[in-house]
Amino acid sequence: MTQTLRARIRAGDLLIGTFVKTPAPHVVEILGHAGLDFAVIDQEHAPIDLSQMDMMAMAGRAVGLPLLSRRWGKERDWIAPLLDLGLTGVMVPHVMNKPDAEAVCDAIRFARRKRGLSPSPRAGNYGGMSIPDYREASDAAGIAVVQIEDASALDQLDQIASIPDVDMMFIGPADLSQSMSVAFPSPDLDAAIERIIEAGKRNGMAVGLFVGDAAQVPVWHARGVTVFVCGSDQAMLRKAAIQMMDQGQSAAAQKEIVRT
């Protein structure tokens, strides 16, 4: 039986995904065929609405690509509708303390008796699952990722990491460096990242990190990070397009040199 993404996170597997900023199910389908472990739909920094999420969730399930969503906003009422669509979980920005992390878990876990319950959406096979089966399956597979990207959260790490229903602390290095008033990258930022990694180790919780380049994965994996979001679909497209133009223009220039 194939392990769920949540089980793989908790087992400490090396997992690599990317942010998706383009509101198109085709992008999700392509990434699934490419073999990524997961993808995060970036509703925080891209214009992606609920109806677009619906189609992207359908594509993710069709190719077996687990999808999470990241979205702005202090309230947590946006979480359950996305899980109803069939998303695997959520990544919540700017979680600063234990009460905030508990509120995220309340929005995800039926066992906490605060999330609205109906097996009628896609996640419940449109009513094909019984309520007990739906509750059990959803709570077993649903992923709660809290983002650590504020200086004030660094003094709350053990309290956050001690919550059993939280699956991962995910580091947003750009916002964390801004909050700390340090450069990105910098030794001070690296030291803060190490603090988060150590808190994860003390509490048996996975730690994830955003990296702009896959070359950074081995470096941070050796230090204890197990989950990586590497770049985005748009960054990959831009990089490939620039590389194509550089190679094409270089070949044309070489041909012109030979001709002269």
Encode pLDDT of 27-68 as tens digits. 999 999 999 999 999 999 999 999 999 999 999 999 999 999
**Rounded to whole angstroms, how far apart are CA atoms 138 and 186?**
40
What is the mean pLDDT of the segment spanning 164-176? 98
- Domains of the chain (ranges, CATH numbers): 5-233 (3.20.20.60)
Q: Quick one: pLDDT band at residue 251, thresholds 50, 70, 90?
A: confident
Q: Quick one: pLDDT band at residue 72, thresholds 50, 70, 90?
A: confident
Taking the CA atoms of 44, 48, 52 and 56 in sequence, report the sign of the dihedral they define.
Answer: negative
Taking the CA atoms of 190, 203, 165 and 218 in sequence, report the sign of the dihedral they define.
Answer: positive
CB under 8 A, 24+ apart: contacts of 134-138: 135/110, 135/111, 138/83, 138/110
| pLDDT of amino acid 250 | 87
Predicted TM-score (pTM) of the model is: 0.95
DSSP letter (8 states) at residue 117: -
**Rounded to whole angstroms, how far apart are CA atoms 237 and 42?**
16
Q: Quick one: pLDDT band at residue 21, thresholds 50, 70, 90?
A: very high
Helices assigned H by DSSP within the chain:
5-11, 25-34, 50-63, 79-85, 98-108, 131-141, 157-161, 173-180, 187-203, 217-223, 233-259
For all residues of the chain together, what is the average pLDDT?
Answer: 96
| pLDDT of amino acid 1 | 59
Residues facing residue 67 across a β-bridge: 39
pLDDT tens-digit map of 83-141: 999 999 999 999 999 999 999 999 999 999 999 999 999 999 999 999 999 999 999 99
* Residue for token pair 């204890």: 224
Distance set, CA 214 to CA 228, 234, 249 (Å): 9, 15, 26
| pLDDT of amino acid 74 | 83
Helix axes of 187-203 and 173-180: crossing angle, nearest 10 degrees: 120
